[in-house]
Amino acid sequence: MQPREQYAARGPDEVGDVELVALLLGTGSGGRSALVIAADVLHHVGGLSGLAHTEPEALARSVPGIGLARAVRLHAAVVAGRRSLRSNALPARVTTPEIAAALVQPALMALPMEELHALYLDRALRPLAVRALTRGSDGLTIVDPRQVYRPAVALGAIHVVLAHNHPSGDPTPSGMDREVTRRVHRAGQVLGITLVDHLVVAGQDWRSLADEGAIPEAGAVPWARAAHTGGA
**Strands, E, within the chain: which ranges?**
115-121, 127-135, 159-165, 194-202, 205-208
Q: Backbone dihedral region of 156: left (phi > 0), alpha (psi from -120 to 50 degrees) or beta? A: left
213-222 pLDDT per residue, tens: 888 754 444 5
Task: Give the helix ranges, DSSP H, for 109-206.
Answer: 145-155, 175-191
| 189 and 123 fall within a common domain | yes
Q: Are residues 160 and 58 in the same domain?
A: no
Q: Quick one: 104 exposed, middle or buried, by C-beta within 10 A (0-12, 13-18, 19+)?
A: buried
Query: Is 16 a residue whose pLDDT tops 90?
Result: no
Find the distance separating the first CA and the last CA of the chain, reported in whole Å: 59
DSSP code of residue 211: T
Confidence of residue 232 (pLDDT cuts 50, 70, 90): very low
Q: Are residues 211 and 102 in the same domain?
A: yes
- Residue 65 located in a structural domain: yes
pTM above 0.75, yes or no: no
Assigned domain for 53 exists: yes
Full domain range(s) for residue 124: 97-229
∠ Cα 164 194 124 (to 5°): 100
Beta-carbon-side half-sphere exposure of residue 25 (alpha carbons within 13 Å): 28
Distance CA 65, CA 20 (A): 17
Question: pLDDT tens digit string along 151-202?
Answer: 999 999 999 999 999 988 899 999 999 999 999 999 999 999 999 999 999 9
Same domain, 16 and 74: yes
Same domain assignment for residues 62 and 103: no
Q: Is 92 in a helix, a strand, or coil?
A: coil
Q: What is the CATH number of the domain that holds 48?
A: 1.10.150
Segment 58-86 shows an average pLDDT of 82
What digits encode the pLDDT tens for the residues 112-126?
A: 888 999 999 999 899
Highest mean pLDDT pick, 45-54, 67-76, 200-209: 200-209
Task: CATH number of the domain at 206, please.
Answer: 3.40.140.10
> Do 127 and 158 fall into the same domain?
yes
**In a shared domain, residues 122 and 195:** yes
Q: Are residues 72 and 175 in the same domain?
A: no
Angle at which helices 17-25 and 67-84 cross, to 10° = 120
* Structural domain contains residue 89: no
Structural domain contains residue 92: no
CB 67 within 8 A of CB 26: no
Among residues 31, 55, 84, the one where a domain terminates is 84
| 228 conformational bin, left if phi > 0, alpha if psi -120 to 50, beta if neither | alpha
Residue 91 lies in a domain: no
**pLDDT score of 31 more than 70:** yes
Co-location of 103 and 79 in the same domain: no
Counting the structural domains of the chain, the total is: 2
